[in-house]
Amino acid sequence: LGIITVLSLVLAPIAQALTVGFSQIGSESGWRTAETQSIKSVAQQRGITLKFSDAQQKQENQIKAIRSFIAQRVDAIILAPVVETGWDQVLREAKRAHIPVFLVDRGVKVRDSNLYVTKIASDFVEEGRLAGAWLAGKTSGHCKIVELQGTVGSSAAIDRKKGFANIIDLFPRMSIIRSQSGDFTRSGGKNVMESFLKSENGGKTICAVYSHNDDMALGAIQAIQEAGLKPSKDILIISIDGVPDIFKAMMDGQTNATIELKSALGEPAFDAIKDYLAGKKLPKWIKTQGDLYLPDTAKAQYESRTAM
Ligand code: AHR
């Protein structure tokens, strides 16, 4: 037997014995559902027992789930934190119980960064900057923007707002004229966009929508159409995630651009847990990358993401 085979035979029972608790935010968007799917299926492929908890967008439910994982003495906890603050106490409890915590997708603000091992996530500020740069180029730095924000207090909403503002602040003729949270949901995006359209002369004064995720952009597209305007033409739209539905909307000429947020976090998350438990030192932030996509590649992207 080769050395690799011998090693995998020796290590396989160790991996199989792992029990990991996963506190997920909820199922607010297509992206979130894909992320859940990735973590569940990689756990299954690797023979890891996954204890899954859906917090229905509530931090208090995530705190309860973490306490229950601690009581069950899991080997590690994966946390996708709904908001940035308010985690110190429960993460201290996990640390005291010697249970390592791995953040996926969103970040936390804690006094002691040793309360978690690492964060596996993209750079939300960069995503916001990329969106701002694309819009500045597309409009030659001349645009009145409405912003659909994600969940209030989430790192995704805070940082995407910040990164976008970093860029448009460089252009005196670009400004955000309305900004409100649609909570990362399709219905939230639609409702907020309807109110923006009403207060902005039926949409005539709006040049573009910057949406913190694709689902809210899809809701906004519906609201724009119902107001008798053409999304992507009368009002430009840029959003973040790269879910199949946004590529479909792009193929249909209803939106202009999306920035991909990788949802396949199962592999890097379980790799990080395995490496940590094997005694390896991990960086504090394991960054995932995403590109900007435009209509020219929408069909190919849609097909590759929906192929079974
Ligand atoms: O935290 C990432 C964001 O959360 C995704 O962009 C959004 O779709 C999800 O709900």
Q: HSE-up of 202 (CA within 13 Å, CB side)?
A: 7
> Which tokens hold the place of 206?
């709006």
Q: How far is the CA of 138 from the centre of ligand 1 (A)?
A: 25
Residue nearest atom 3 of ligand 1, based on CA coordinates: 156
Rounded to whole angstroms, the Cα distance separating 231 from 247 reads: 14
What pLDDT was estimated at residue 14?
47
Q: How far is the CA of 167 from the centre of ligand 1 (A)?
A: 21
User: Would you tell me how many other CB atoms lie within 10 Å of the CB of residue 25?
Assistant: 27
Rounded to whole angstroms, the Cα distance separating 294 from 134 reads: 10
Furthest CA-CA distance within the chain: 74
Segments in the chain below pLDDT 50: 1, 5, 9, 13-15
Q: How would you label 97-111 residue by residue, b for 16+ Cβ within 10 Å and e otherwise?
A: eebbbbbbbbbbebe
What pLDDT was estimated at residue 17?
81
The pLDDT tens digits for 133-168 are 999 999 999 999 999 999 999 999 999 999 999 999
Rounded to whole angstroms, the Cα distance separating 45 from 52 reads: 16
What pLDDT was estimated at residue 13?
46
Phi and psi at residue 150, to the nearest 5°: -80, -165
Return the ligand 1 atom nearest residue 240 CA: 6
Pick the closest to residue 303 from 265, 248, 263, 260 (CA basis).
Answer: 248
* Pair 91, 110: CB distance under 8 Å: yes
What pLDDT was estimated at residue 159?
98
Asked if residue 261 has its Cβ within 6 Å of ligand 1, the reply is yes
Return the ligand 1 atom nearest residue 31 CA: 8
Asked if residue 145 has its Cβ within 6 Å of ligand 1, the reply is no
Q: How far is the CA of 7 from the centre of ligand 1 (A)?
A: 38
